[in-house]
Structure 1
């Protein structure tokens, strides 16, 4: 390992601590006698490219291959509201080969693993202070190196636990309602929402298990042209009877969450003139600016907006969007000048978000706060209790990939799927794949429930009830995400009394990996069979259900050692109980 940098007035010290066999923490500390801008420096090391199938990182991109070391196209850039500073190099049988992570999840870090063509080695690098920071006298970062021969997903889970144990990283509590299915208005209504129609959706959604409605963009403006030129006043121009609507939803025993774009103020808003000189960035083509949280009046405005909305309308939560736009841009002044009381953008963001969750939990300790990928780093767990996969409309495979990627690193924070939707002419079995592919996360449903075909509605009812009945296993069980290089075609969650496996490709499920009395298998692919490899002969009661809940078969089956086949409809579920 080597460290490169022109440290000038700073002194560098490096210490290492073996936490346990094959886990080392290396501490890099720089100090100066006076406040100064810390220098850019790089931490580098290499290793043979042996039994490494790919790299896992927090990007929503499904490509897990290692790039050549000469390209910067797939660097991991992280800061408080963007990704997380971790990479896991995994082998061909899901084993960890090296997982490395940094304790600094606040500032901008660039990390990368790439293959060098000349020697078939993997060259790893961590770049610090590539983005000019605020002045400091000292700075410290710990890099965790995990070389244990364990599943890569176990190594990532331990990284998540390590982060959560650090001072200032403590995650907020997760209310039970954050772990229940929700109805979202975004794909079904986009910006054209109204109270009457949404209340009707709630009545239907409530019947099959939804506990909340997320009213997305549109409630606050009559403009329906996308974009954020009219954003920033947060008055219910379209849904003018907001309090009445919230009360009506509460009467159904459901919660209400509202969408807000946190940093944006548009040029057509009343607040534009007030804040036009307090932006981090403004682009003429966008017609809206990104607020600078280093101004105390900006932080006060944002916090008061949510506090007042909660008090006025009795809201249960917020979908806080575009947090990642709080960042350092070209030309950003990095000093506490001209009315700014904090020099660092990221320190100001941390203060803003910490104060938001503090003020809101004073009003309602069970407040629901959703963030979406890519603002799902370890510090974001301090401010919110729901992490949603980034937008992937009508893409079952990508939704599975993204929910799984979020789930592997976020501990007990509730992982939500991107809102599921489909064309209403879709055969019900294929429409159901949007659901079966996200079973190991919290479903958000975004179709018009009174317009979808009757069998589609029956499918939603059956799968949601199944999900609710099994959510402790699906969300809290010991989770295994196999073969990340091919978008996790096998997902397994093991509880105390039952194991649930999701199969998403035409492959053989090796039963040697299971110790179970009860096993449910979700057929999340477009073929009507599941192939099992059985290590020892056993007999079991086997029930097969269609995606609409029809009992297709109920029989005793002798599973012989070797290859066995179970016939199951597309998007169906097998329930297997050993005798």
Structure 2
């Protein structure tokens, strides 16, 4: 085994390349570590942090990445949200263990990468480590990581326009208890509200409603629930909705017909939920999964699939030790083989098909095969939904990010309903409530915000995305395109707007205060301001002058103000 190491520096970005000649043995691993003075250090962000934004310690915890788990990167930033050090590893497929945090003995930032190169499938292995030290906004540094991976060949799958249509989902509103009649009634209302797609979740493949996954693996629609499934899909599409079905791709249930054929080719069995995870090292297993997914798409005329539990293919039990990553477990390379097989099969049949993947397995290796990434489950938790969608937007580049399915209690206030929608303003909204049982005022709120999102989706999804203060849960998020900007305000916090060159500003208020403090570094002249409540009703219309310093702009809680430049 030989290793050649080279390095380069360009404008504050260091790149170190490790080229290995020869085959890695089963117990070999590559370990790289470095230290850097911890000066002006405030917080740390990585792709699967979820709630934690603390600096951490070199002894206090690791995180793992591989093809179907997270992304091999991290960023230290200061209290001004400026990048201090961003690191990224060019190989997102191999199992990688990352340790980062404060080395207390020396007051330094410590990073260590342990990579199992044999899980990449290559004898002559090459990996690059990119370290960005430029003092730029942290979100621009993360954007550069996405560009770094794209240059290494990890380009996201093409996302057709329907991937950004608001979604009505059946999961929280029905769970497995689906019926054809109720689906059609909900679909009619969903179209009237403004939804463009219906995602039919778990339950379509079984007559059982007891939860669990004991009937997965055959992927045959339940006629008891759906009647003729092909005619159901056709009728939903006639309403003007795209139709997507959920599949737990690697699962085979204990009560399925497929069990007798594949129960000896599994990774592990879940006794409580009565299912097993298939061993996709076996080409026949990968072929079966691919074939069944294509069959259901082709036979029913689906517009897309929601691929779930791809992260379950690799059990976490082997992680944490420096053992052969393929020893009695699953090499992540085979997961990529599976996703590549599914993607090529589906896009070969229907070029513009929608393929949803989930936050747990959203990394660059998986986004080659999925053109929607959804926030992981956080039912009725709009704060968490905001944080998860913002985290995904930071690193997912051109791949549309969807919220977890929004749900709320039908007895709640209209203003609270609006908060659920406002908190995921910067992602494609997925909603899962029983529309037939909603109070009239809830329907007003839902219809207003879904159509507000659609009317402003170009700015929201294609503008310059700036989520502020990630360590505080993103209390202010904005997106700017051309001369228009939309800002979501989620806490009573002052923030700066660059008014120069700005004609239209929309302030969306999810805080519990009816005022928004906006900072300007210069006099900016006269704007008109229209204030709307949570239902979209015009409350007031005035002219206001933007002064240098703090400008207090009245905006109702769960409402919005639209400012337009007059001079």
**TM-score scaled by length of structure 1:** 0.93
Contact conserved, 1:37 with 1:136, CA < 8 A, in 2?
no
1:476 aligns with 2:467: no
Contact 1:511 1:533 in 2 (8 A): yes
Give unpaired runs (5+ residues) of structure 1: 1-9
Partners of 2:121 and 2:333 within 8 A in 1: no
The reply on whether 1:107 has 2:73 as its aligned counterpart is no
| 1:36–1:135 CA contact under 8 A, matched in 2 | no
**How many Å separate the matches in 2 of 1:444 and 1:108?**
32
Aligned pairs (5 A) from 1:31-180? 31-32=21-22, 36-37=25-26, 39-72=28-61, 75-129=62-116, 133=119, 137-167=123-153, 169-180=154-165
Deviations 1:382-425 (A, max 9, x none): 11100000111111111110000001111111100001111111
Residue of structure 2 equivalent to 1:494:
480
Which has the larger displacement, 229-238 or 500-509? 229-238
Residue 377 of structure 2 aligns with which residue?
A: 391
Range with bigger deviation, 503-512 or 297-306: 503-512
Q: Does 1:560 align with 2:547?
A: yes
The whole-number CA distance in structure 1 between the counterparts of 2:175 and 2:114 is: 40
1:336 to 1:150, Cα distance in 2 relative to 1, 3 A:
closer
Change (3 A) 1:336 1:146: closer
Shift of 1:459: 0.7
Match of 1:279 among 240, 243, 266: 266
After superposition, give the CA deviation of every residue in 1:303-343 in whole Å (9 maximum; x if it has no partner): 111111112110110000000011266589989999xxxx9
1:188 and 1:143 map into 2 onto residues whose CA distance is 45
Give the Cα separation in 1 of the matches to 2:249 and 2:491.
39
Q: Is the 8 A contact 2:146 2:397 kept in 1?
A: yes
Query: In 2 relative to 1, CA 481–105 (structure 1 residues): closer, same or farther, beyond 3 Å?
Result: same
Distance in 1, matches of 2:499 and 2:543, equals: 22
Q: Offset at 1:377?
A: 0.1
Tell me if structure 1 keeps the 8 A contact 2:198–2:242.
yes
Contact in 2 for aligned 1:544/1:568 (Cα 8 Å): yes
Aligned to 1:12: 3
Structure 1 residue 268 corresponds to structure 2 residue 255? yes
Distance 1:335 1:202 in 2: 46
State the alpha-carbon separation in 1 of the partners of residues 522 and 148 from structure 2: 39
Contact 1:203–1:252 under 8 Å retained in 2: yes
- Check the 8 A contact 1:280/1:329 in 2, yes or no: no
| 1:124-523 correspondence runs (5 A) | 124-129=111-116, 133=119, 137-167=123-153, 169-237=154-222, 238-327=225-314, 345-512=331-498, 515-523=501-509
Change (3 A) 1:268 1:520: same
User: How far is 1:270 from its partner?
Assistant: 1.1
* Structure 1 CA distance for aligned equivalents of residues 499 and 396 of structure 2: 25
- Note closer, same or farther for the CA distance 1:178–1:60 as it changes in structure 2 (3 Å cut): farther
Asked if the contact 2:119–2:333 (Cα under 8 Å) also holds between the matched residues in 1, the reply is: no
Contact 2:119 2:325 in 1 (8 A): no
Deviation at 1:568, TM superposition (A): 1.5
C-alpha separation in 1, matches of 2:410 and 2:363: 36
For structure 2, which runs of at least 5 residues remain unmatched after alignment?
Answer: none
Question: Are residues 56 and 459 of structure 1, via their aligned partners in 2, closer, same or farther at CA, if it must alter by over 3 Å?
Answer: same
Q: Deviations over 1:112-139 (max 9, x none)?
A: 211122332211111112x974885322
Distance 1:433 1:98, change over 3 A: same
Q: What RMSD, in angstroms, separates the aligned Cα atoms of the two structures? A: 2.2
Alpha-carbon separation, structure 2, partners of 1:513 and 1:302 = 53
Indicate conservation of the 8 Å contact 1:521/1:574, yes or no: yes
Change (3 A) 1:68 1:558: same
Q: Distance in 2 between matches of 1:337 and 1:59?
A: 25
**CA distance in structure 2 between the partners assigned to 1:337 and 1:430 by the alignment:** 50
Count of residue pairs brought into register by the alignment? 560
Provide the C-alpha distance between the structure 2 equivalents of 1:458 and 1:135, rounded to a whole number of angstroms: 54
- The question of whether the paired residues in 1 share the 8 Å contact of 2:142 and 2:394 is answered with yes
Pick the aligned partner of 1:577 from 561, 564, 567.
564
CA distance in 1, matches of 2:444, 2:203: 29
- Matches of 1:21 and 1:65 in 2, distance apart? 28
Residue deviations 1:450-493, cap 9 Å, x none?
21111111111111111111101100101111111101111110
- Aligned in 2, Cα 1:150/1:337: closer, same or farther, shift over 3 Å? closer
1:446 and 1:157 map into 2 onto residues whose CA distance is: 31
Contact 1:499-1:519 within 8 A present in 2 as well: yes
Cα 1:199–1:504 change in 2 (3 A) is same
Which range is displaced more, 303-312 or 238-247?
A: 238-247
Structure 1 residues 174-183 or 57-66, which shifts more?
57-66
Change (3 A) 1:496 1:326: same
**1:95–1:513 Cα change, 3 Å:** farther
Contact 1:35 1:135 in 2 (8 A): no
Q: Is the 8 A contact 2:265 2:278 kept in 1?
A: yes
Q: How far apart in 1 are the matches of 2:270 and 2:326?
A: 23
